[in-house]
Amino acid sequence: MGIFTGLIIEVGRVRQIRRRPDGAFLMIEANRVLEGTRIGDSISINGVDLTVIEMSPDSFAADASLETLSRSTLGELRSGSRVNLERALAVGERLGGHMVQGHVDGTGELVSITREGNAYRMRFGFPGELGRYIAMKGSITVDGISLTVAGLGDDWFEVAIIPHTWSETSLRDLKTRDRVNLEVDVLAKYVERLMQHAAEPAESKVTMEYLIERGY
């Protein structure tokens, strides 16, 4: 498993996608993301952490499991589709975005795009079960891109896209009702888990076996 920052290195292009009974084989055209990459390394493709299994000077290949295809939009890719790419974070590198695992929590849908000066405001719908992890000014990953929540409703959130992000990612390819991969902030999930344990009563060490062993 790799750790990512949500800062896209480049936009690649699907050269080939071959579906199989046990998943899919993807070959992606790329350049910058291949620098220093070796077979076995992790690369995020539209926010999904996959392992490099083949490489050439201008492409790499990865396998996607049925679980990955069912939980993400990778199964909807076609030859020629543009995809956001990021190498896994190396020890000592700057964490410029936020901690991203490349584990898709669900898919959202583009609701609207509004021009704001030289930038864009994008609204995405999200599944109800993810709502408790999304907070105003909090972090969220959309197709592998680390973004800050700028607006929030019961079933939607908005992000403000600066010109650099617009030009250097695949967000500009999206159209209304297109699906995107969403990963919520992992810290929110850990906090929820800790709170659940804190609310549970301590488990008693006195069991039937304990009493029998001591002659009761």
Q: Where are the domains of the chain?
A: 10-87, 106-199
Nearest to 88 by CA among 36, 156, 162, 140: 36
Categorize the per-residue pLDDT at 191 as very low, low, confident or very high, splitting at 50, 70 and 90.
confident
Q: Average model confidence (pLDDT) for the chain?
A: 90
If you classify domain 106-199 with CATH, what class do you get? mainly beta
159, 126 contact by CB (below 8 A):
no
Collect all residues with Cβ–Cβ distance below 8 Å to 74 and sequence separation of at least 6. 24, 26, 45, 46, 48, 64, 68
pTM summary value: 0.86
- Let me know if domain 10-87 sits in CATH 2.60.40.1080: no
Domains 10-87 and 106-199 equal at CATH topology level: yes
Predicted confidence at residue 170, as pLDDT, reads: 97
Residue 201's H or E segment, with its range, is none
113, 172 contact by CB (below 8 A):
no
187: how many CB neighbours lie within 10 A of its CB? 13
Q: What are the tens digits of pLDDT across the range 97-124?
A: 678 889 999 999 999 999 999 999 999 9
| Furthest-apart CA atoms within the chain: distance in Å | 80
Predicted confidence at residue 98, as pLDDT, reads: 78
Sign of CA dihedral 132, 136, 138, 141: positive
